Structure 1
Amino acid sequence: MLLSSELLARIAAARSDHPKLRERDLAAAIGVTEAHLLAADVGGAVTRIVADPAKLIPHVARMGEVMALTRNESAVHERRGVYTGFHAGPHAAMVLGEEIDLRIFPRHWVHGFAIRRETDQGVKRSLQVFDNAGDAVHKVHLGPLSDVAAFDAAVEALALPADCAFDIAERVGADPARIAEDRIEALRHDWAHMTDTHQFLAMVRKLKMNRLGANRAVGPQFAQPLPLDAVSTALERASEEALKIMIFVGNDGCIQIHSGTVDRLMPMGPWQNVMDPRFNLHLRTDHIAEVWRVVKPTKRGPAISIEAFDGEGRLILQMFGKRAEADTDTRGWDRMTETLLAEVMA
């Protein structure tokens, strides 16, 4: 359906009353989704576009250096770079660039928008994709080094009619921790015999559990709780020791990965921020309800992660030691996580 005149008027009034409020905050303030705000501007600063990543991402790759943004309710992951190494797929796709590293789940890429918005700093251009509930899946923001002509060509090639249907589904609730009590021994057996971290989700689904439930159930050989401030502590120590790490932040439609060091930490109120030139992380530490140190067996040795969850059981982020194909040395990260655990048990 198209937006009603009443809703359009309510959005326009809210924009007028709060001109500097961020889109996400403005949407929450008036009880709509962020996608509704953009749909209200279609025909002006906003153009509806095809959201299918198989059609969209090749255009993004032609835009040169941009900023990729993926978020959930508690963390925002921003990475500058060029989209290279795109591999399309109907169920899963990937961008495997040196800096932009994404895992994409196309069925959640439902509503696409191209934005050209006049600001005091000039025209700000972006491509933004939302799921069927109107929640942000992935955004691409152009910067001073981006190819504007490639952006314009993408909008022309992918544009949809301004009056095409815009249907928003009811938001699906969080999946709280699920533990199948009669399958805990099977979980421990199968976990011990993993050879790759990518086997994990299929394993827990087969056992009628989920990630958080499996962490709680498997036992201290593979998963142990850490204090709620362990994520910030791990970031601080990784910065101090110049450790190369991987930080995963995602939602149902996209996971974005930073690989490298974290240098400039700037905590502010409830936010822990990484403010490096090519990578920014904004983490709501007050949303963290559980933190786990998790060990998964692989052919190249154990993969050790720190995983943070919110109060409804949603995964906020994961951190690993950086492990490249030709380099399996994560000893610095592994030792640091062991120290975190020892401090808890002291």
Structure 2
Amino acid sequence: MENVIAHKTENGVALAQAWAGLEAAKPGIRIREAAKELGSSEAALVATTVGKNAIRLNNDWKGLVSRLPELGHVMSLTRNDSCILEHKGAFEKISIGGSGAGVGTVIGPIESRMFFYAWHVAFAVEQEKSGRRLVSLQVFDKAGDAIMKVYMQEGKSDYDAFRRLVEDFTSEDQSQEQFTEPYAVKTYAAEPDAEELLYDWADLQDTHDFHSMLTKHQVHRHHAMELAHGPFTYPVDAISTKLILESASKTKLPIMIFVGNRGNIQIHQDKVRTIRVLERGHNGVETWLNVLDPAFNMHLRQDTVGSAWVVKKPTRDGLVTSVEVYDHNKDLVVSFFGLRKPGQRELEEWRTLVSSLPTLS
């Protein structure tokens, strides 16, 4: 069913005043939280600063992404409501293909899969925060949610290249009001054929075929976990995320971590070292599981985790095992794999770690 809610535009002046009032009442509040409290969007808040410390960029997404390597050593951030990945390094090998709006593939210290059909608006932003100058590129979808942010690193990034990039991609539109549009709620088959789903699941040849299989059967990903319970999936305790990271750190086991949203998936492919659980947030109840390594940070909000599933996918390289973590709305938050490349079999150490996780009935 098509969403009947019309486009929403924010009054830039009124929104800026409301945001300033909220920041005065709650110093240090994060922009994503502020947007929710104000009933607005993050993109709309950023737009109120256009002409002061933000510049609208045009929508030449392929051209923009192809220029990211010029920035040198940066920090790339991708998040959803529950999990954040941050990598420091350079955008190295970038390829852009696919039909229509296309897909961008980034390989190197920063690894991403970019889906340009969801990219709607971008800004170059320069702000002072806690005595630091933060310079970034920020991309948002049509609902105003952040897709990706790229932060310059003092003493390591090429700020001249940043200025040239902004000059080349500045939009003619420099308004302080942002149009947003909510996404239509996806519909799925009320009663998918479990037998046919499991037949196709057993015939998988590559992990990348999994999404198309779900689309073919019009089944929600979490519902697929339930339908495949036994042959290919089983639930584990939500504490498994912490156990995975702590065990991988202790044994120096290289793993893969996938975190995404509508427009970008960021991927970690390496070891993890420093694992910490911290509380933060203005309500004092947010519990975050963190990886705090020099070139990689992960932040997982544990109080939003609803379930975790072990998932087994047959491939031409043998069985591939992952752990998928879902929030209370049954949306995918983060996925964990043992590090492997196409043509390689899965690490036995990873399978051993997964088999040790506490199972649920």
* TM-score, with length taken from structure 1: 0.92
Q: Answer with 23-32 or 296-305: which moved more.
A: 23-32
Match of 1:303 among 298, 320, 323: 320
Q: Does 1:132 align with 2:142?
A: yes
- Alpha-carbon separation, structure 2, partners of 1:107 and 1:91: 5
Name the structure 1 match of 2:293: 276
Name the structure 2 match of 1:236: 246
Name the structure 2 match of 1:93: 103
Name the structure 2 match of 1:212: 222
- Alpha-carbon separation, structure 1, partners of 2:202 and 2:65: 38
- Alpha-carbon separation, structure 2, partners of 1:326 and 1:275: 31
Helix, strand or coil at the partner of 2:355: helix
Opposite residue 192 of structure 1, the aligned amino acid is A
Match of 1:253 among 244, 248, 263: 263
- Alpha-carbon separation, structure 2, partners of 1:88 and 1:182: 35
Equivalent residue pairs, number: 342
Q: Assess if the C-alpha contact under 8 Å between 1:179 and 1:213 holds in 2.
A: no
Q: Does 1:71 align with 2:71?
A: no
Q: Assess if the C-alpha contact under 8 Å between 2:103 and 2:114 holds in 1.
A: yes
Structure 2 unaligned regions, length at least 5:
1-8, 280-286
Q: Does 1:226 align with 2:210?
A: no
- Alpha-carbon separation, structure 2, partners of 1:345 and 1:219: 11
Name the structure 1 match of 2:359: 344
Name the structure 1 match of 2:162: 151
- Alpha-carbon separation, structure 1, partners of 2:184 and 2:116: 17
Q: CA deviation at 1:117?
A: 1.5
Q: Which digits, 9 at most, give the CA deviation of each residue in 1:136-182, with x for residues without a partner?
A: 11100110201000110111111113138731112555x69x56545
Structure with more strand by fraction: 2
Helix, strand or coil at the partner of 1:316: strand
Name the structure 2 match of 1:9: 17
Q: Which digits, 9 at most, give the CA deviation of each residue in 1:181-232, with x for residues without a partner?
A: 4511111111111000111111111112121111110231211111111111
Q: Assess if the C-alpha contact under 8 Å between 2:50 and 2:176 holds in 1.
A: no
Q: Assess if the C-alpha contact under 8 Å between 2:306 and 2:327 holds in 1.
A: yes
Q: Assess if the C-alpha contact under 8 Å between 1:180 and 1:207 holds in 2.
A: no
Q: CA deviation at 1:128?
A: 0.4
RMSD of Structure 2 on Structure 1 (CA) = 2.1
Q: Assess if the C-alpha contact under 8 Å between 1:52 and 1:106 holds in 2.
A: no
Q: Assess if the C-alpha contact under 8 Å between 1:83 and 1:95 holds in 2.
A: no
Name the structure 2 match of 1:28: 36
In structure 2, the CA distance between the partners of 1:194 and 1:38, relative to structure 1 (3 Å rule), is same
In structure 2, the CA distance between the partners of 1:172 and 1:271, relative to structure 1 (3 Å rule), is farther
Match of 1:332 among 349, 353, 359: 349
Name the structure 1 match of 2:114: 104
- Alpha-carbon separation, structure 2, partners of 1:77 and 1:235: 14
Name the structure 2 match of 1:83: 91
Opposite residue 295 of structure 1, the aligned amino acid is K
Q: Does 1:166 align with 2:183?
A: no
Opposite residue 59 of structure 1, the aligned amino acid is R
- Alpha-carbon separation, structure 2, partners of 1:182 and 1:64: 48
Q: Answer with 8-17 or 300-309: which moved more.
A: 8-17
Opposite residue 310 of structure 1, the aligned amino acid is D
* TM-score, with length taken from structure 2: 0.89
Equivalent runs, 1:176-215 vs 2, <5 Å: 181=191, 183-215=193-225
Q: CA deviation at 1:8?
A: 3.3
Q: CA deviation at 1:234?
A: 1.1
In structure 2, the CA distance between the partners of 1:7 and 1:138, relative to structure 1 (3 Å rule), is same
Structure 1 unaligned regions, length at least 5:
none
Q: CA deviation at 1:69?
A: 0.4
Opposite residue 304 of structure 2, the aligned amino acid is H
Name the structure 1 match of 2:3: none
- Alpha-carbon separation, structure 1, partners of 2:354 and 2:194: 25
- Alpha-carbon separation, structure 1, partners of 2:288 and 2:184: 26
Opposite residue 142 of structure 1, the aligned amino acid is M
In structure 2, the CA distance between the partners of 1:256 and 1:122, relative to structure 1 (3 Å rule), is same
Opposite residue 221 of structure 1, the aligned amino acid is P
Helix, strand or coil at the partner of 1:289: strand
Match of 1:46 among 48, 51, 54: 54
- Alpha-carbon separation, structure 1, partners of 2:10 and 2:333: 33
Q: Share of identical aligned residues, percent?
A: 33
